[in-house]
Amino acid sequence: VSGVAVADANSAWVTARSSSGGRMVLTVIKVTPSGVASSFGTQGVARVPVAGKDVTAHDIAVLPSGKVLLAGEARPSATSSTADTLLARLGPNGASDPAFGSGGIAIHNLSGGTGEDYAAALAPLADGGFVTAGPAAGVGAVARFGSAGAPDPDFGDGGKVIGGLMPAGSGYAPA
């Protein structure tokens, strides 16, 4: 389990790792007081493969609409040292949301390089957009995305702020 979200007293969603066809896939489980919610995904579990990628969700949020937002990483293979920021949105029933990214998935290379970029945390915004935070180009990064998963061009440099998150000499470093 890598993330948990609660929308009300009767439901929790958790992210986990699972494989399908030799690749790691996004996995979300909806749990209610009586157990796994069979109305979500297949018997309570939604598995979302991403073509040609090994993917992991690091954070999850349930939106007021009941849709589920995921943030994490996409790698060419499980052993690759290269990762890009992965975003996904599922409908209340656990199916990929076609109005988000491409078929419910958006992948962004924030630094433009070949290192590790990924979203370690996310926070939904009232306008339907959201903010992510995580590493990019070996330093901390914050990015803002619109409700469809595209970078917000009015935030930072093309939707992102990379580095410079801590004052010089502060002794702090992004986690």
β pairing state of 130-136 and 121-124: antiparallel
Which helix (H) or strand (E) segment is 124 a member of? Answer: strand 121-124
**Does residue 141 contact residue 121 with C-beta atoms inside 8 Å?**
no
Paired tokens of 77? 């293979």
Cα distance from N-terminal residue to C-terminal residue, the chain: 19
Closest by alpha carbon to 56, among 18, 100, 10, 13? 18
pLDDT band at 55 (very low <50, low <70, confident <90, very high): very high
Q: In the chain, pLDDT over 70 holds for what percent of residues? A: 94
pLDDT of residue 115: 85
Dist. CA 81–CA 68, nearest whole Å: 28
pLDDT of residue 170: 47
Chain centroid to CA 145: 12
pLDDT band at 166 (very low <50, low <70, confident <90, very high): low
pLDDT of residue 167: 55
**Does residue 73 contact residue 97 with C-beta atoms inside 8 Å?**
no
pLDDT at 171 over 60: no
Neighbour tally for 164: CB within 10 Å:
9
Mean pLDDT for all residues in the chain: 90
β pairing state of 11-20 and 23-32: antiparallel
pLDDT of residue 155: 97
pLDDT at 43 over 90: yes
Looking up tokens 């109305």 gives 39
**Does residue 47 contact residue 41 with C-beta atoms inside 8 Å?**
yes
